[in-house]
Amino acid sequence: MRDTNLLGPWVRRFLLEHLVAERNLSINTQKSYRDALALFLPFAGTRLKKPVDRLTVVDLSPDVLREFLAKIEGDRHCSVATRNQRLSSIHSLARFIGLRSPEHVSWCSDVRSIPLKKTTRPLVGYMDKPEIDALLTQPCRTTRQGARDYALLLFMYNSGARANEAAGLTIDCLQMGTSPSVRILGKGNKLRLCPLWPVTVTALKPLLESRGANDRVFRGRTGEPMTRFGIHRIVTTYATMAGEKLPSLKNKQVSPHTIRHTTAVHLLRAGVDINTIRAWLGHVSLDTTHIYAEVDLEMKAKALASVNIESLPKPAKTGKPTASVLNFLSSL
């Protein structure tokens, strides 16, 4: 008879059956859960002086979990967001076990009672139009490598693609006909279509010559597919070069995700509705897309300029609002 108290079989079922077969999560999400457990289980084994393969479900007590969270914040200097991500992964494991093993419901409840920490969401970083233009002018387009780098930067700005999405892009995902577009596989295996500018199509075409439909669009010097780390290096290198010519870029941390944020903010400034931007970027919720409206100073400045302070009605000396004030407020 199988011992339902041993933790090992539960972890195996959670990672290989639940996350893959039942929930069909993306590879990156699966790795995130795996990494959280790869840190927590050895810590629990050391703390309890037991081999990892002999740990039981109840060994992962709330006290051990709290010590683990304190350790990754103190010793590993993880941010609150990372701490919450690790805790969420363990919460998911506890819920998985609790739903399938009634004798562990109480343990599941105790583990899941440990709350996530509140944290301040940092402001989204993006580039203004002169800054993204300066970035795009850095690659030497007369060389093969420079032409590839220019096409990569322009494609990411055009589509708002993440670094791993650009790295995994294959030629058959590009439509270069009368209505050029790209099909991008994003988070959660979600597909989205983005239109391509004519200038983007022109930059991409030399990269596709004599290539198969299943080949990666962006390849390194040796012909191997580029990785998200290689794309990150390219972006940061050219951002440093652009910062030498444009001082405003020196104080900004530019990454592939910064280009993605830049795409969203520029679409917003161009008058594109927020729901279209959500579909463009592949966001699941509008709440995620609304952060761009919160950080765009140019649109806030325009909104402020549209309010003429001189024309605002002055309050009556009695301290009571006048009819004109009430009419103005009701029109907002």
Residues annotated as catalytic (active site), given as ranges: 162, 187, 257, 260, 283, 292
Total H helices, total E strands in the chain: 16, 3
Residue 145 phi, psi (nearest 5) = -70, -40
Give the position of tokens 């009605």.
313
DSSP one-letter code for 294: H
What would the DSSP string read from start to end of 30-60?
HHHHHHHHHHHHHHHHHHHT--GGG-BGGGS
Q: How far apart are CA 58 and CA 106, in angstroms?
A: 10
Q: Give the tokens for residue 156.
A: 């990411």
Report d(CA 34, CA 106) in Å as an integer: 24
Tokens of 83: 């701490």
For every residue of 118-178, DSSP letters joined together read P-PPPPPP---HHHHHHHHT-S-TTSHHHHHHHHHHHHHHHH---HHHHHT-BGGGEE-SS
Length reported for the chain: 332
- Decide: 131 and 242 in contact? Cβ < 8 Å: yes
Q: In this structure, what is the dihedral angle of CA atoms 222, 227, 233, 234, given to the nearest 10 degrees?
A: 60
Distant-in-sequence, close-in-space partners of 267: CB < 8 Å, separation ≥ 6: 276, 277, 280
Token match 């605002």: residue?
Answer: 312
